[in-house]
Amino acid sequence: MGVPYDAQLADKQARVEALLAPFLAGAAAAVWGEPVASVESGFRAKAKMVVGGTVDAPTLGILDEAKAGVDLRHCGVIAAPILDALPAMAAFIKTAQLTPYDVAARRGELKHVIITLGARDRLMLRFVTRTRDGLARVRRRLPELLAAVPRAHVVTVNLLPEHKAVLEGSDEHALTEARALPLRVGDVALAALPQSFVQTNSAVAGELYRQAAEWVDEVAPASVADLYCGVGGFALHAAGAPGAERTVVGVELSPDAVASAELARDARYEHDDDRARIQFVADDALEWARREDALPELVIVNPPRRGIGEPLATVLAERGPQTIVYSSCNPDTLARDLAAMPDYRVERARVVDMFPQTTHVEVLTLLRRV
C-alpha cells in the first residue's frame, strides 16, 4: 500500500511474465494481453471480520500479535455498502450481548462477522458463534438488526464450537426467508448460499469471466468441464445463450456452491433442454476427473491458492483435452502445475488484478497441447 497503482500493476505483470516465460507457446508479445485493472479502493465485496474487544466496545477487523482486536471499520479496500453496515453491526453486538470470543483465553461467544455484497447493494450478514446461545440471541433481536441494516437480504448464524483457526463451521442457520444472495457478475446473474466461495472483486471477476468465455467461444468446444466451479461463474459464461448446444459440467466440493450454481442456471435458462445440458455436481475435482472415461473437449480450472496439484496435473497431462483455460490466484503454483504438464503451452495470458493494494494477483491463461 502506498505504491502508485500503475506501478503496482506493472510489478505484478513483470513478476507473472517472468514466472511463466518458460511455458509460453510463442513470443511474449503475442501471448500477453493487456492487464485487467481494478479501481484502487472500495472494491472488496466480502469482509471477513474477526470480532475482538469487549461486548460494550467490540472491534471488527483482525487480531494483532497479542490476539487483541484491531478495528478495520474504515478499511479503504472494502466496498462502501459493507462499510456503511459495520457501525450498525457493532451496535447490534452490544445490544444482543454477543461477547467477543477471546482467542487467548478460549472463552466468549462471537468469533467472526462475514458480510458479502450482492446485486443492487443487498447484503448477506453472517455471525459465527461458538454456541446455540449466540444463535438464540441473534434470532431474538433479528427485527432490530433488519431495521438497522435495511440492505440486509440474508442473515445467518454459523456455529463453530471448536477452538481452531478456521473462519466458519459446517452448521449454518438461516434466519431470513431468503437464503441466497443475488449477485451480478459479468454477463450472468449468479446466486450465493452462505457457505459458497464468491470472488473478492465483482467488477474484475466479471471481466475475468468474459475473457474466459471469449476464449472458449473461439475454440468452440462441444463440451466443457469447469473444475472448482464455485457458484458457476465460469461455467455459466461458457455455456452460452439459451438454446446453445454446448454441454457444460461444473464440479465443486461445496454443496452450497453447487446449489447456488443450480439456482443461477435455473433462473437463467427456462427450457429443460438448457438445464439438462448444464449440470453441476458436488465432488472432488481430482476424483471426478479420474472416474471419467473421457474428459470434455475443453477444461476450465479455477483452483484455490494451492493450485491443482501434481495428481490432477498428471491426469490432465495424460488424458486432458487439447485446450485448458486455467485461472490462477497464485502464479507460483500455476508455474509449478505447468511444469507438471509439459505437453501444454501458454498460448494466451492476461493478468487480472483482483487484489489491488496487495501483492496477490490473478492470471488467466489459455493452454494448448503441443
Instruction: List the catalytic residues.
Output: 329
User: Strands 362-369 and 344-352, how do they pair?
Assistant: antiparallel
SS (H, E, C) 108-138: CCEEEEEEEECHHHCEEEEEEECCHHHHHHH
Contact 46, 200 (CB under 8 A): yes
Contact 107, 138 (CB under 8 A): no
CA distance 25 to 345: 5
Provide the β-strand partners of residue 154. 124
Contact 348, 215 (CB under 8 A): yes
Grid look-up 471477476 returns 205
Grid look-up 462441444 returns 222
User: Strands 46-53 and 58-63, how do they pair?
Assistant: antiparallel
